[in-house]
Each structure stands twice: as C-alpha cells, then as structure tokens.
Amino acid sequence: MNKPNPNDVTLFLIEDDDIDAMSIKREFKRREISSPIVRAKDGVEALELLASGKISHPFIILLDLQMPRMNGLEFLTTLRANSAYKNSVVFVLSTSQDESDIFNSYASNVAGYFIKDEGGDGFISIVDIIDGYRNVVHLPLS
Amino acid sequence: MSSGKKFRVPTIIKYNLLDAEIDTMFNDIVMFAAKSCDKLFAMVNFIDVDKLWVFSQVGLFPNEMDQKNDFCKHTVNQTGVLEISDTLLNERTKLNKVVKETPNIRYYAGVPLINTEEQILGTLCVFDTKPNMLNKHQKSILKLLAKDVVSQLELRRKNFELSKLTDLNQLITKNNPDLVFAKDSDYKILHANTAFLSLFPEKMRDKVIGSSALERYSDAAAATFIVQDKLAFEQGKAETIEKITFSNGEIRTLFITKTRFEDDKGKAYIFGIARDVTEREALIEKLKKSNSDLEEFAYIASHDLKAPLNAIKRLVSWIEEDASEVLQGESLEHFGMIKNRIDRMNMLLKDLLDYSRVGKNDGLPQTLNLQKTAKHCYQLLNLPQGFKIDIDDIDLVLPKVPLELVLTNLISNAVKHHFKKSGHIKIHCKNLAHDYQISVTDDGPGIDPSLHEKIFMKFQTLKPRDEVEGSGLGLAIVEKALANYSANIAVKSDIGKGATFTVTWPKLEASHK
C-alpha cells in the first residue's frame, strides 16, 4: 500500500511572495494541518532543495508562475525532464489568467491550475483542495 | 442688330489688340479686298478701337476716325453688304471730308465683322473715287474676307487665352509642393514638375525626363514603383504610401496617387501626384505610440497597484484575527475603516482598469434582446428586494459588451443613489430610423440640473464616498464606451423628480440591411 498518512505529506511551496506564502501557512495552521511546509522562493531554489534531499517523500508541489530567476513554467519543464522528479504532483497557483499559461501548465502534466483571486479567498480554497487531496490520494513514495 | 445695346468686353481687350504686332495684322486682307473688288481703297475698322487698317492703291487715305462713323455706322446695323453707289447722293456721306476733299470718295461698300457670339465688332469696307456697283461675285468675296478677319481675331483670342493658361500652368508646375509626374507605358517619365525634379541632384535633373525608375533605383526599389504603376495601368488608379530613399540619402514618406489617362490615339499613360507626408506620418506614429503608452500605463498602474493592496488587506485581517482580544473600541473601528478604504481603493483601481480597457475588442454588433440583456446585467448586481425593473421587449443590433457595460452602470447607479429601500426603474427603447434611443428612468432623488455636466467627469461623485461608495468613474466609462460608436448619453432630471439617462446609439450600416 502506498497510501501515506496525510500528515506525512509535505507541501513544497514554490512562491516568491512572502504574503502569499504566509496565507497558505496561516490557513494550514488555522485548520490545524500538521503536514510540513517547505518553501522555495523561485525555481532555482526549488531545484536546489530537491537535489539536496531536503524535500522528503511523499510531497505535493504548489507552484507560482511569475517568479524571479526561474519562473514556474521553466521549473516545470526542468522537473519533468528529471527522471527523479518527473512523477511529482504539482498544482499551479498563479495570478495569471492567460490561456497560454494554463495550456502550458497542463502540457507539463500539472494536477490542477488555480488562480489567486484578489481577495485572498483563493488561498482558502486551494488549502481546502490540498487538504482533501492529501487525505484521499495515493502518492508515489519515492 | 445693334451691338451698342449689349454690354460686352471691349474688342480691344477681348482680342488682345494692344500689341504692336497687330499693326500689320489685316494688311493682306485689305489689300486683297481692294484688288478683288477693283477699288482704290479698302479698310478694316472696329467700333471701339482707335485704329484703322487701310490699303490704298493711290496715295494716302486720310487716317481719321470721323469718316468711319459717317460710312460705317449703318453697316453695323445690318448683316449683309451695305453699298453707297454715289456718296454725293447720300445725305449722310455727301458732307464728309473725304468726299468733299482729296481723295474725293464717291463709292462705299461695307460688310459687318460678326463674331461667333453674333456680336458686331466693326466693318471691312472698300472705297473708290467714282460711283460704282459691286457685282455678286465681289460681294461674296467681301463677305468671305470679313469672316476671315473675324477668324483671325478668334484665333488670336484663343492663343491669348491659351498662353494665359500656360502661364498659370507653369506657375502651378513651378510652385506646387506636391511631386507631379506623368509616365508612359514603359514607365518612362514624360513630365515632371519642379518639386519632382528637385529630388534629383542638380546635374541629373535634365536627364530625368525620358528615364525610368529602373535606371534610377536599385532593382528592389524600382520593382515596388513598377508594381504600383502596373496596378494604375490595369485598374485606372492606385494609391500607396511609400518610403523612398532620395538621392541625398534622406528617407521620406510619400502618399502617391497614380491615375491612368489616354491620349487621343488611345495610348495609355499614368499621371502621378506624390505628397510628402513624412512629418504627418511621423506625428501619427508618435500619437499612436503615446496613446498606447498611456493606455498601457493606466493598465499596468491599476493592475500592479492591486497586488500590494491585496497583501495589505490580508495582513490587516490577520492582525484583526490575531489581536481580536486586544483590539477594542476606537482601534476596532479604525480597523474597519482601513478595510473599507482598501475596498474603496480596489474599486477605484478596478474602475480605472475598466476605463483604460474600454473600447478594446468589444466585438461586432449582434442581435440582442434588450429585456434579456438588461436582466442579465441586473442579476449580476444583486439588486435589493424592493426594486422593480420594467424593460421593453425589443431586439437591438448592437455590440454586446458595451451595451452590457452601459446598462450595468446605469442600473447600478439608479439603485445605488436611490433614497428609498424600494424603487422602480424603467428601461425603454425607441427604434428610430438611424438610432436606438435607450432610456433608463428611475424614481430616485433626482439630480440638480446644475450638476448634470459634472456627473460625467472622471472621479466626480455627488455624495461623499463614505455615504455612497463609488469611484466616480461609472458615467465616464459609459461615455467613453459610447464614444467608440459615435453614441452619446444625456441626462434629464431635477431634484425630487427622478432621473432619466438617454443613450442615443447610431445603428450600424449592417443593421439597415
């Protein structure tokens, strides 16, 4: 069986905006979700963290698209090309409503694309989904 | 007929008779008249010209004007040959100086000079010293010669007018700032004005006529001229804006019109006019760029300002949550006000964004039911329970997005500014010949006529924003959206009498069909 304990599923947050990252962390705390959250501020840092083994399996990636150095789509391309991480579960959470961003994200096999709404309620919904997801989903353990 | 009764341009001016060269103009005719009529003297004279053309076979004929009057003033009152076979037997002539003294004229015959407009200009006449008669043959020669005098005058007039026209043409050719040229079917330049020639280095100018673009420009540049020339030859007309590198290396933008024309033999040519529009095109380009920069700026500014504002909003609500036990009284109120101002700023930014985007990709006119469209608009607005809306059931052909934008704003205003919890809004539409006239009427508090102009201005609100939330951009957005379709909006309202906003929206050509 590869169904993990929901609290063992790490949320790997790749997000350059501190307040957006805090929104997620806060919502986790409010719901008393004890899953660990690890954050990278851009694609480059995310790849470094993955390579250093600091992100323990199983994990879900929550990815922003507009970031300095290496943006979300570039990160996705690199991720999918790497045999060690190509199976990773990735959700995109972005302000971009651009059709081509949505299309390109799904072309890189993301599990879902969410748009950050202006009021910040979107962060509550995404945590709803991640919470539900980690409870029911079977994830690769390595 | 009497020439004197009609106003006319004096012969002297009409036929340009001031010139020295006319002195001998009719000498051949008067000589021939005298000889063919077998008379000693012949004369051409004009009613309003102080000049006589006289031929004499025997010494001088007194070159005085009074005998002209005695002899000729009756000739010009008829159209045929007037003959006085013996001047001493004629009351008018017997006392004339040339009859009484040398050369003792005894015979006169004259023909009027009649031009193509049937004006009598003067006479051609013959004199002799013995009484006589002209035979039929001589009379017809005299008439024929009179016609010849007139044809010579007419020819002279045409030449004169032509030369005036030529002078004018030269003036135009020389001073027209547009480049004017004509080409034959081998694309060779047949005619070019001064402006056209001045494009070329001075030493080349005399070689321009007769040359073609093929010889003067690179193959590529010449090819583009030829394409347009061909088009003009085929279709009769071609218009282009071309960037042309002049011989001094300067690149100018020319608006060129080429028109085909044919000569009397049916050979085709093109006539071209090129206007230098470099500065105009540059200005248009600049204006376009600054407009799009401005729009982009408004868009980016309103979009990018939203992100930090939303971050502030979240941080504030977190502090409020975390410090709910500490925050009390005024501080709590202040927190509420902060959040309210954040919402207000968000609304301002949203409306600013809408304002900057109005008119972009608004789509084509389509058949829309006013009732359905308006319903769709007010359903999105979350109208309070007490409001009733009546809408005409009518189909319109209008672009959907701007119509919805206009209706949403007008309905939302009617509700927002209403002073009661309930109200009645009526949306009517008159289908006029060339316009739709859509009106939104409410039974709200009404608007003071002195403020009617102000409500359409940007960022203007009638009440403090703390009382009625609003960016003050709603009607400005409506007006801007309507302006794209040459539509307009007007308000009719007075305090306590509700308000009617009427949109006059021109129908598009497609909707007439």
- Is the Cβ pair A120, B318 closer than 8 Å? no
CB contact set of B117 (below 8 Å; sequence gap of 6+): none
Mean pLDDT across B251-267: 89
Distance (Å, rounded) from C-alpha B116 to C-alpha B395? 68
Whether B295 and B149 map to the same domain: the answer is no
pLDDT score at B139:
94
- Nearest chain B residue to A20 by CA distance is B311
Query: Cβ of A26 under 8 Å from any chain B Cβ?
Result: yes
Whether B192 and B81 map to the same domain: the answer is no
Whether B19 and B127 map to the same domain: the answer is yes
pLDDT score at A61:
93
Whether B267 and B286 map to the same domain: the answer is no
Average pLDDT, chain B: 84
- Residue A96: give its domain's CATH number: 3.40.50.2300
CB contact set of B133 (below 8 Å; sequence gap of 6+): B83, B85
pLDDT in tens, A63-103: 999 888 889 999 999 999 988 888 889 999 988 888 888 99
Q: Which amino acid is present at A111?
A: A
Residue B134: CA count within 13 A, CB half-sphere: 29
- What length is written for chain A? 142
How many domains in chain A? Answer: 1
Domain that holds residue B218: 176-276
Mean pLDDT across B403-412: 91
Rg, C-alpha atoms of chain B: 45
Residue A28: inside a domain: yes
Whether B226 and B308 map to the same domain: the answer is no
Q: Calculate how close chain B gets to A120, using CA atoms only, in Å.
A: 7
* Chain B residues touching residue A115 (CB < 8 angstroms): none
Distance (Å, rounded) from C-alpha B408 to C-alpha B427? 12
The C-alpha torsion from B415 through B419 and B423 to B428, rounded to 10°, is -60
pLDDT score at B513:
36
Pairing of strands B499-506, B435-442: antiparallel
Residue A83: inside a domain: yes
Distance (Å, rounded) from C-alpha A124 to C-alpha B260? 73
- Residue B428: give its domain's CATH number: 3.30.565.10
Q: State the pLDDT confidence band at B63, using cuts at 50, 70 and 90.
A: low
Distance (Å, rounded) from C-alpha A130 to C-alpha A27? 11
Distance (Å, rounded) from C-alpha B328 to C-alpha B347? 28
Whether B376 and B344 map to the same domain: the answer is no
Query: Cβ of A118 under 8 Å from any chain B Cβ?
Result: yes
Taking a C-beta distance cutoff of 8 angstroms, is the pair B381, B503 a contact?
no
Q: Calculate how close chain A gets to B314, using CA atoms only, in Å.
A: 7
**pLDDT reading at B3 higher than 60:** no
Output the DSSP codes for B452-501: TTGGGSTT--SS-TTTS---S-HHHHHHHHHHTTT-EEEEEE-TTS-EEE
**pLDDT reading at B235 higher than 70:** yes
Last residue of a domain, one of B135, B167, B199: B167
Residue B126: CA count within 13 A, CB half-sphere: 30
Mean pLDDT across B409-416: 90
Average pLDDT, chain A: 86
CB pairs under 8 A between A and B: 18
Last residue of a domain, one of B218, B249, B276: B276
Distance (Å, rounded) from C-alpha B429 to C-alpha B392? 6
Q: Calculate how close chain A gets to B340, using CA atoms only, in Å.
A: 13
Query: Cβ of A124 under 8 Å from any chain B Cβ?
Result: no
Task: Mark out chain B residues that contact chain A at CB-CB < 8 A.
Answer: 306-307, 310-311, 313-315, 317-318, 346
Whether B16 and B78 map to the same domain: the answer is yes
Partner-chain residue, chosen from B306, B311, B318, that has the shortest CB–CB distance to A26: B318
Whether B300 and B407 map to the same domain: the answer is no
Identify the residue among A97, A118, A123 best suited for mutation to test binding to B, counting B beta carbons within 10 A and taking the highest: A118
- Nearest chain A residue to B315 by CA distance is A19
Taking a C-beta distance cutoff of 8 angstroms, is the pair B471, B409 a contact?
no
Distance (Å, rounded) from C-alpha A111 to C-alpha A108? 9
Cβ neighbours around B150 below 10 Å, total: 19
Distance (Å, rounded) from C-alpha A47 to C-alpha A77? 12
Q: State the pLDDT confidence band at B35, using cuts at 50, 70 and 90.
A: very high
Mean pLDDT across B275-299: 86
pLDDT score at B2:
43
Q: Which of these ranges, B55-64, B444-453, B462-471, has the smallest mean pLDDT?
A: B55-64
- Is the Cβ pair A118, B311 closer than 8 Å? no
* Chain B residues touching residue A118 (CB < 8 angstroms): 306, 310, 346
Whether B457 and B506 map to the same domain: the answer is yes
Whether B494 and B407 map to the same domain: the answer is yes
Last residue of a domain, one of B357, B379, B410: B357
- Is the Cβ pair B310, A120 closer than 8 Å? yes
Mean pLDDT across B443-447: 91
Q: Calculate how close chain B gets to A132, using CA atoms only, in Å.
A: 24
How many domains in chain B? Answer: 4
Q: Which of B354, B414, B403 is nearest to B374 (CA)?
A: B403
Taking a C-beta distance cutoff of 8 angstroms, is the pair B375, B391 a contact?
yes
Distance (Å, rounded) from C-alpha A138 to C-alpha A5? 10
Mean pLDDT across B427-453: 91
Q: What percent of chain A has pLDDT over 70?
A: 92
- Residue B268: give its domain's CATH number: 3.30.450.20
Q: State the pLDDT confidence band at B52, using cuts at 50, 70 and 90.
A: confident
Identify the residue among A15, A16, A17, A19 best suited for mutation to test binding to B, counting B beta carbons within 10 A and taking the highest: A19
Partner-chain residue, chosen from A19, A22, A118, that has the shortest CB–CB distance to B306: A118
Angle between helices B136-175 and B27-36 (to 10 degrees): 170
pLDDT in tens, B16-31: 776 767 778 888 999 9
CB contact set of B298 (below 8 Å; sequence gap of 6+): B352, B353, B355, B356
pLDDT score at B227:
81
* Chain A residues touching residue B306 (CB < 8 angstroms): 118
Burial of B70 (0-12, 13-18, 19+ CB in 10 A): buried
B503 phi, psi to nearest 5 deg? -105, 125
Give the pair of three-digit tokens for residue B104.
């003792």
pLDDT score at A119:
57
Domain that holds residue A126: 6-136
For residues B448 and B77, which has the higher predicted lDDT (pLDDT)? Answer: B448
Q: Which of B128, B137, B96 is nearest to B109 (CA)?
A: B128
Whether B48 and B160 map to the same domain: the answer is yes
Mean pLDDT across B103-132: 90
- Residue B154: give its domain's CATH number: 3.30.450.40
Q: State the pLDDT confidence band at B65, using cuts at 50, 70 and 90.
A: low
Output the DSSP codes for B246-276: -TTS-EEEEEEEEEEEE-TT--EEEEEEEEE
- Is the Cβ pair B307, A95 closer than 8 Å? yes
Q: Which of these ranges, B241-255, B317-331, B350-364, B372-386, has the smallest mean pLDDT?
A: B350-364
Q: What is the ipTM of this complex?
A: 0.76
Mean pLDDT across A12-37: 89
Mean pLDDT across B149-157: 90
Residue A106: inside a domain: yes
Mean pLDDT across B479-500: 90
- Is the Cβ pair B314, A95 closer than 8 Å? no
Whether B211 and B78 map to the same domain: the answer is no
Residue A68: inside a domain: yes
Mean pLDDT across A13-32: 89
* Chain B residues touching residue A22 (CB < 8 angstroms): 314, 318
Beta-bridged to residue B504, according to DSSP, are: B437, B488
**pLDDT reading at B93 higher than 50:** yes
Which SS3 state, helix, strand or coil, does residue B231 take?
helix
Residue A1: inside a domain: no
Mean pLDDT across B184-202: 86
- Is the Cβ pair A19, B315 closer than 8 Å? yes
- Nearest chain A residue to B313 by CA distance is A119
CA distances from B281 to B123, B242, B258 (A): 65, 11, 20
- Is the Cβ pair A118, B346 closer than 8 Å? yes
* Chain A residues touching residue B314 (CB < 8 angstroms): 19, 22-23, 120
**pLDDT reading at B60 higher than 90:** no
